[in-house]
Amino acid sequence: MSVLAPYACDPARSRGRQHAEPGGEARGPRDIFQRDRDRIIHSISFRRLRHKTQVFVAPDGDHYRVRLTHSLEVAQIGRTIARVLGLNEDLTEALCLAHDIGHPPFGHAGEDALEEALAGQGGFDHNAHCLRTLALLENAYPRFPGLNLSWEMMEGLAKHNGPVLAPNWAMQQIDAAFPLELESWPSLEAQVAALADDIAYDNHDIDDGLRAGILTLEQLLEAPFVRRCWEQVTARYPDLPAEQLLRELIRDQIGIMVNDLIMTTRENLRLHGLEQADVSAVRGAGQAMVAFSDAMREDERQLKRFMYANLYHHPTQLAAAGRARVIVTDLFRAYQADPALMGTAWDASCGAAEPERSRHIADYIAGMTDRFAERAHQEIFGVS
């Protein structure tokens, strides 16, 4: 077992869970963060990620990434970084695995549609909905709602992108029941999870875009970071065809970004006198400690701009997103008019008063997979 650095989250010093759980020791020698990770893996909401959009809506090919495989790749990157920095690997892994659980069907297109549908009822945010799902909507235990995850896990999911100064209604409800100190910075484990997510999708979305034929190598070489990495790869393997080196390019880019992040984070901890500090000092540091260097941050920004221009906003992607928004909007309106269409259990718990009624319907839709939403739409409207 790795030795934890002073600034890591120590399971022995966890702030615990919202609901007491006597007798848990009968289920094996796992600490609180290991149990968090296992609860995520065994949850229904995690399993549903296998049929939720990452980049391509309901992809035809078996080799494209979905939210589930993306989350596994984020966890692999995050755990590697955590091990080198002396952080808690189990907490980091759990945060990485859970970070996308709040996404509705069809990715950001589905989220945009739910945000518009709930415009008068507080709106929709996938990060807040992640906490809502794990704290309230999962129904795995007899004595309490949700998965009853540790304070450190919930805090990390709430704040992995930094302090939350304007929480929406869903985040406010969670914070009121289990205060998460939303105004402070999160643990280093949560900060690692956030940038592991960026590293994963920056690079793996390139892989999927090439596979789909939307991106070409010639286009990619317009991005300075990609061009430099490609020059290194082709110098090592001058006799191999370009097609055989594309995955080597992706691996190199991930490795370079991970190494830059580790070196920069170590330097940040040193400069801020946090090398021997505890996690409370990290939370009070006033800024993120896990970061890229200035040069890598600019490279990463340029790469994101390239991906938005050439992949995420490609005409075929925009057309698919438009269709996805229609499906989610139609379903929301249909359930508003007749909650019985959601099925007995969801209909029975759907009240008449707002905003609870609309939020309840959004909970139901947000839990759908892409294919379930498409099937439900076809059953109601008779069109595909």
The full set of domains in the chain, from first to last, is: 1-7+30-384 (1.10.3210.10)
For residue 39, give the nearest of 173, 134, 181 by alpha carbon: 134
Cis peptide upstream of residue 6 (ω within 30 degrees of 0)? no
For residue 186, the SS3 value is: coil
- pLDDT digit string, tens, across residues 144-169: 999 999 999 999 999 999 999 999 99
With a cut of 80, say whether residue 383 has pLDDT above it: no
- What's the pLDDT at 217? 93
Greatest CA separation for the chain:
69
H helix or E strand, kind and range, residue 23? none
H helix or E strand, kind and range, residue 99? none
Q: What is the pTM of this model?
A: 0.95
Residue 289 near residue 188, CB atoms below 8 Å: yes
Q: Is 329 exposed, middle or buried (0-12, 13-18, 19+ CB in 10 A)?
A: middle
- What's the pLDDT at 58? 55
Distance CA 272, CA 268 (A): 6
With a cut of 90, say whether residue 124 has pLDDT above it: yes
Candidate from 9-13, 23-27, 135-139, 360-364 with smallest mean pLDDT:
23-27
Query: In DSSP terms, which residues pair with 137 in a beta bridge?
Result: none
Q: How does the average pLDDT of the chain come out, rounded?
A: 94
- List helix spans (H) across 23-66: 32-41, 44-47
